[in-house]
């Protein structure tokens, strides 16, 4: 069975994507910081098909990243790495004039530096994948559009987009996609804008078919928007 590492997999989009892959029989290595919530997710998904290993920790910790890749190696290799774990940098979001610099550093460390560190750890296994290794970087429309208060988070996602694009150019044997999932009802969004009523936003499960389409059709490396993938299917 193919093997995937998904970061930020205890809830939201990460958990929804993990559930979809579990239904397809994938073996999963799941990451999140909160051990109890992650283990609950792993228990639920473990009965759906493939093997599931919960490895709790912080992706900014190099030792934790090594443990994630080691768990995939124990499953026999790695076919897909999903960099989904994200930090806002300020909760709730604030204008740049008041944005805490330590918060921006945290967002860059989580969303960019840790993502690259995990890619570096995983590359030997991804290159050896018989199915063809793939990397998914979960991006945001804030990476490309200028929304008030989203400057710090958006800057980190823009950096992730560029890192992903260059990785795709440097690793032609892999598929490397940055994916803007579009609006979703998630804890991350609620923490970013707690005064906003997000009840009308789509649930993360609704955009998972866009990610599955990438895996099924394996288009060229690049940046994709989930709503466009869904509307074209």
At 49, is the pLDDT very low, low, confident or very high (cuts 50, 70, 90)?
Answer: confident
Across the beta sheet with 27-32, the strand order is 52-56, 27-32, 3-6, 80-83, 134-138, 175-180, 222-225
Q: Is the pLDDT of residue 233 over 80?
A: no
- Chain segment 181-204, per-residue pLDDT in tens: 998 999 999 999 999 988 889 999
At 42, is the pLDDT very low, low, confident or very high (cuts 50, 70, 90)?
Answer: very high
Task: Give the percent of the chain with pLDDT over 70.
Answer: 100
Q: Is the pTM of this model over 0.95?
A: yes
Give the residue-averaged pLDDT of 139-155.
Answer: 97
User: Facing residues of 4 across strands?
Assistant: 28, 80
Q: Is the pLDDT of residue 84 over 90?
A: yes
Q: Is the pLDDT of residue 26 over 90?
A: yes
What single DSSP character describes residue 144? Answer: T
Task: Give the percent of the chain with pLDDT over 90.
Answer: 95
Write down the pLDDT at residue 198: 84
Distance CA 227, CA 2 (A): 26
Its sign, for the CA torsion 153, 30, 122, 60, is positive
Distance CA 22, CA 27 (A): 7
Closest CA to 81 of 12, 205, 177: 177
Helix (H, G, I), strand (E, B) or coil at 194: coil
Give the residue-averaged pLDDT of 149-153.
Answer: 98
Write down the pLDDT at residue 47: 84
User: Facing residues of 55 across strands?
Assistant: 31
Distance CA 15, CA 82 (A): 11
What residues contact residue 52 under an 8 Å CB cut-off, 6+ apart? 18, 22, 27, 28, 30, 42, 45, 46
Q: Is the pLDDT of residue 72 over 80?
A: yes
Distance CA 137, CA 166 (A): 12
Domain interval for residue 180: 3-232
Report which of residues 228 and 48 the model is more confident about.
228
Distance CA 130, CA 137 (A): 21
**Mean pLDDT (the chain, rounded):** 96
What residues contact residue 223 under an 8 Å CB cut-off, 6+ apart? 139, 161, 164, 165, 177, 178, 179, 180
CATH of residue 65: 3.40.50.720
Distance CA 186, CA 184 (A): 6
Give the residue-averaged pLDDT of 5-23.
Answer: 97
Give the residue-averaged pLDDT of 31-53.
Answer: 94
Write down the pLDDT at residue 143: 97
Write down the pLDDT at residue 48: 86
Report which of residues 48 and 151 the model is more confident about.
151
Write down the pLDDT at residue 232: 78
Number of domain units in the chain: 1
């Amino acid at each position: 069975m193919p093997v995937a590492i998904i970061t930020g997999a205890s809830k939201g989009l990460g958990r929804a994507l993990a559930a979809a892959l579990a239904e397809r029989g994938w073996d999963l290595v799941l990451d999140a910081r909160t051990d109890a919530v992650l283990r609950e997710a792993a228990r639920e998904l473990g009965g759906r098909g493939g093997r599931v290993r919960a490895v709790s920790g912080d992706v900014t910790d190099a030792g934790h990243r090594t443990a994630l890749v080691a768990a995939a190696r124990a499953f026999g290799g790695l076919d897909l790495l999903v960099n989904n774990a994200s930090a806002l940098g300020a909760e709730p979001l604030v204008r740049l004039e008041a944005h805490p610099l330590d918060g921006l550093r945290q967002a860059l460390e989580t969303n960019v530096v840790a993502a690259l560190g995990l890619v570096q750890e995983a590359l030997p296994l991804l290159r050896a994948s018989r199915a063809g290794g793939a990397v998914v970087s979960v991006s945001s429309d804030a990476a490309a559009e200028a929304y008030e208060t989203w400057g710090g988070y958006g800057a980190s996602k823009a950096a992730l987009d560029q890192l992903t694009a260059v990785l795709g150019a440097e690793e032609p044997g892999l598929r490397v996609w940055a994916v803007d999932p579009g609006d979703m009802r998630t804890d991350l969004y609620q923490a970013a804008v707690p005064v906003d009523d997000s009840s009308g936003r789509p649930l993360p499960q609704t955009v998972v078919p866009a990610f599955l389409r990438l895996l099924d059709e394996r288009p060229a490396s690049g940046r994709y928007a989930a709503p466009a993938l869904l509307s074209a299917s």
